[in-house]
Amino acid sequence: MKYGYFDDKNKEYVIERPDTPYPWINYLGSEEFFGLISNTAGGYSFYKDASKRRLTRYRYNNVPTDAGGRYYYIYENGSYFSPGWAPQKSELDSYECRHGMGYTVIKSEKNDLKIEMKFFVPQGDNTELHQIKIKNLSQKKRKLKLFSFLEFCLYDAEDDMTNFQRNFNTGEVEVDGSTIYHKTEYRERRNHYTFFTVNQKISGFDTDRESFLGLYNSFAEPQVLEAGKSNDSIAHGWSPIASHFLEVELEAGEEKELIFQLGYIENKDEEKWESPGVINKDKAEKLMEKYNSTAKVEKAFDQLNQHWEKLLSSFSLEHSDPKLERMVNTWNQYQNMVTYNLARSASYFESGISRGIGFRDSNQDLLGSAHLIPERVKQRIKDLAVTQFEDGSAFHQYQPLTKKGNDKIGSGFNDDPLWLIFAVAAYIKETGDYSILEAEVPFNSDKKATIFDHLEASFMHVVNNLGPHDLPLIGHADWNDCLNLSAFSEKPGESFQTVSNKDDSSAESVMIAGMFLTAGPDFVHLAEKVGENGLAKKARTELEKMKKAVNKAGRDEEWFLRAYDYYGDKVGAKGNQYAEIFIEPQGFCIMGGLGLEDGFAEKTLNSVNQRLNSEHGLMILDPTIKEYQINLGEVSSYPPGYKENGAIFCHNNPWVMIAETIIGNGDRAFEYYSKIAPAYREKISDLHRTEPYVYSQMIAGQDAASFGEAKNSWLTGTAAWNFVAITQWILGIRPEFEGLKIDPCIPEDWNGFKVQRKFRGSKFEIEVKNPEHVSKGVKEIFVEGEKIEGQILKDFDKGPVKVEVIMG
């Protein structure tokens, strides 16, 4: 069952009823000011860092779900309703929510009133705009009251939820005209405040939550709405909020428009105050002035749309399958941008306080955004590199506000270093800009280094940390955070990853070996490029050694082993009680070139197909683990079928898709692609539950009671990797160091497709034709009518370049 539809032309998903199977969300903002918004206007806003600079409050895991947001209430003659449905939930005569690129519009009708609320963050400013239109559809004059509502967070989101002995005393606000200023802690060490304003004269306000709601009322029944007037309350401690009270008169058929604005301001120490105790409002007033009319807001909205138009024009596909087009052209790229911006911080599954930017996560995210925002990708690479240690290991996470590594989790995830090579290689393949290798970025110790030095440290970290079978030591974990082979956790609440009670010089990861072999050749190329020929030679030798080690100790009979545990026993081997096969090394070892000469790759991928394939995608392992296994760690803590214990972990499915394209099996690659791509699952939204326009991290596996149900939408490496799989390997438009390679591997029944691809200053208009209905193989390529040698398009410094590709 569906709950809406894709409006492809406008790049929107249109939700037709408010009670979606889970709140279906969108993100506002793409620079420094961000908001998360549900289809009923729930959610919250923050500046740069969802944990450290949270501007408005939200209640995770509340009953009912999705509590806290940008709420509006319309009052008339003793009754009231919420035009976004939440929180008051009266039945609306019509409802529609359009989630678009960086904006959300909710339209509804009730009692002969038509309300439209558009939410977005304009480019270049730290502010969120709510453009509210109210139209009187009736024949009579109406006198309405409109109440706005949002609740401030006291900036540090975790402290805000826990430290009540202090926080119930610190809250402070100021009200000036139609503007409510939130200035908690501004009197001491904060030099920032938040404001919420409306571009019209108000008849009243509230800034104290209890005065607005009543102590025993929910958001659905504020006492102010019961009374039909505000209390003009000033918050002293407790919970500061912002609510405006406006009287709106509408003639028959008349429409009025209000612009609300939530803004964030920073002042220098010496410019904090206007007079003792009164905050300096200069910057706030300028910001308000900038967006205080419909014309100004509409202009900003146009600019936002142009920004997205331009971004998404970097890659666009014409194909007979609209589902594929909407994934590739719009939603997958949009999700790539969101994961670039938010990493794993704020979604409905990530509360915005636990993780900041992950070394592993963000490096992988860059694979999906290098073509969109190369300059910002370059900066992110540098920010990540600073948190790397001289021995190549890296802080697993850092906070975006401080850019400092997170001591609590530390380092020791032995896949981390390699992801930096993936990210830098992707950046250079996209841009051709090798100068990044010379960029000076110190190690975490402050030791001077170039980006190339960082890559060398990454590569050598693997070489210097090999185990008994000459395979890479796994450390706390590799990509699979839950395969904890060097830590035996016995106490509830302990971190499965970081409890250190076993020495970590025995457990080894075949997956890291596969990653090493995948990233290694790129490292060799880069070493040669910077003239480090000796190092390049050494690296080649190490790669050969690793290849031998995997072929000797990393294979089971029909697939690649997953690991060796602390005792030296095989993990992911036939005959094991549980988890005989894991997905990760199968994709990665083949990407790393293993098993291609002796048919082992085919055999492996057939095993994957037999053992892991399901109606809803490829499961991460089989059979699922039925009891807690201390030697395997968190993976066995999940009930069978969930998360790392046998769910369809959408992040690693594309590794197998890519492996299938490497052996030329386009039908299977695309079968796997379309099983998990959300647009293909839209028709089962009631089962899938999360948004049909973005990937979720996981879909419950065959052994779960809720087989097919997705969780953890939005912030997942799934986005970047599926984009890589479909665009670079299935459609086969692949940036390489030498240029843009064209090497499709598609289902045999496709006739072809067209792609427009911006690449290093050129714009290629590529038409792929498949007259012989093959899966793989390029017979001829014509550039501007002329046949070229090979499959690589070099950069052309001119307008659209027509490319014709004949498969066969």
Q: Which is nearer to ligand BGC, 370 or 612 (CB)?
A: 612
Element (H, E) at 763: strand 762-769
Confirm whether 481 is a catalytic residue: yes
Tell me how far apart the alpha carbons of residues 477 and 565 are, in angstroms, rounded to a whole number: 11
564, 478, 484: which is closest to 515 by C-alpha? 478
Count of residues that bind ligand BGC according to CB under 6 A: 5
Name the minimum Å distance from CB 478 to ligand NOJ: 8
Q: Of the two residues 281 and 360, which places its CB atom closer to ligand NOJ in the complex? A: 360
DSSP 3-state assignment of 484? coil
Q: Report the residue number, 324 or 477, with the smaller CB distance to ligand BGC.
A: 477
The minimum distance between CB 554 and ligand BGC, in angstroms, equals 24
Least CB distance to ligand NOJ at residue 460 (A): 23
Which x/- pattern, by CB under 6 A, does the window 470-499 give for ligand BGC?
A: -----------xx-----------------
Least Å from the CB of residue 339 to ligand NOJ: 10
Whether 209 and 238 have beta carbons less than 8 Å apart is answered as: yes
Contact partner, 53, from ligand BGC, ligand NOJ, none, Cβ < 5-8 Å per class:
none
Residue 479 contact among ligand NOJ, ligand BGC, none, beta carbon within 5 to 8 Å by kind: ligand NOJ
Which residues is 758 bridged to in the sheet? Answer: 763
Q: How far is the CB of 634 from ligand BGC (least distance, A)?
A: 6
Angle at 719 (CA atoms; ends 734, 795), nearest 5 degrees: 25
Q: Could you say which of 66, 481, 504, 556 is catalytic?
A: 481
Q: Which is nearer to ligand BGC, 184 or 498 (CB)?
A: 498
Contact status, residue 42 vs residue 66, Cβ threshold 8 Å = yes
Contact between 483 and 562 under an 8 Å Cβ cutoff? The reply is: yes
Q: How far apart are CA 202 and CA 689, in angstroms?
A: 41
361 binds, among ligand NOJ, ligand BGC, none (CB under 5 to 8 A by kind): ligand NOJ
480 binds, among ligand BGC, ligand NOJ, none (CB under 5 to 8 A by kind): ligand NOJ
Q: Which residue, among 718, 707, 717, has the nearest Cα to 676 in the 3D structure?
A: 718
From the list ligand NOJ, ligand BGC, none, pick the one residue 661 interacts with, judged by a Cβ distance below 5 to 8 Å according to partner type: none
Instruction: Assess contact for 584 and 630: CB atoms under 8 A.
Output: no
User: SS3 of 54, please?
Assistant: strand
Interface with ligand BGC includes 415 (CB under 6 A)?
Answer: no
Question: Six-digit token pair at 740?
Answer: 């843009």
Q: 47 or 479: whose CB is closer to ligand NOJ?
A: 479
Q: CA 270, CA 73: separation in Å to the nearest integer?
A: 40
3-state helix, strand, coil in the chain (%, to 5): 30, 30, 40
Distance CA 718, CA 286 (A): 41
Ramachandran angles phi, psi of 735, nearest 5°: -65, 130
Conformation bin of residue 725: beta by default, left when phi > 0, alpha when psi is -120 to 50: alpha
What is the closest distance, in whole angstroms, from the C-beta atom of residue 361 to ligand NOJ in the complex? 5
| Closest CB to ligand BGC among residues 344, 469 | 344
Q: Measured from the CB of residue 396, what is the shortest distance to ligand BGC in angstroms?
A: 8
Question: What are the residues whose beta carbons fall under 8 Å from the beta carbon of 773, sequence distance 6 or more?
Answer: 748, 749, 750
The least distance separating ligand NOJ from the CB of residue 712, rounded to whole angstroms, comes to: 8
State the binding partner of 358 from ligand NOJ, ligand BGC, none, CB within 5 to 8 A by kind: ligand NOJ
- Tell the residue number behind the tokens 């699922």, with chain if given: 624
Give dist(CA 805, CA 787) in Å, integer. 10
What is the C-alpha to C-alpha distance for residues 493 and 740, in angstroms, rounded to an integer? 49
Residue 357 neighbours by CB distance under 10 Å: 25
Q: Would you tell me which residues interact with ligand NOJ (CB under 6 A)?
A: 344, 358, 360-361, 479-482, 644
Looking at beta carbons only, is 634 or 682 nearer to ligand BGC?
634
Residues 262, 196 contacting (CB under 8 angstroms): yes
Q: Name which of ligand BGC, ligand NOJ, none residue 326 binds, using a CB cut-off of 5 to 8 Å depending on partner kind.
A: none
Site string for ligand BGC, 613-652 (x = CB under 6 A): ---------------------x--------xx--------
> Whose Cβ is closer to ligand NOJ: residue 526's or residue 650's?
650
Query: Taking a C-beta distance cutoff of 8 angstroms, is the pair 36, 346 a contact?
Result: yes
Q: What positions carry a catalytic annotation?
A: 481
Kindly list the residues in this chain that would bind ligand BGC in the complex (CB under 6 A).
481-482, 634, 643-644
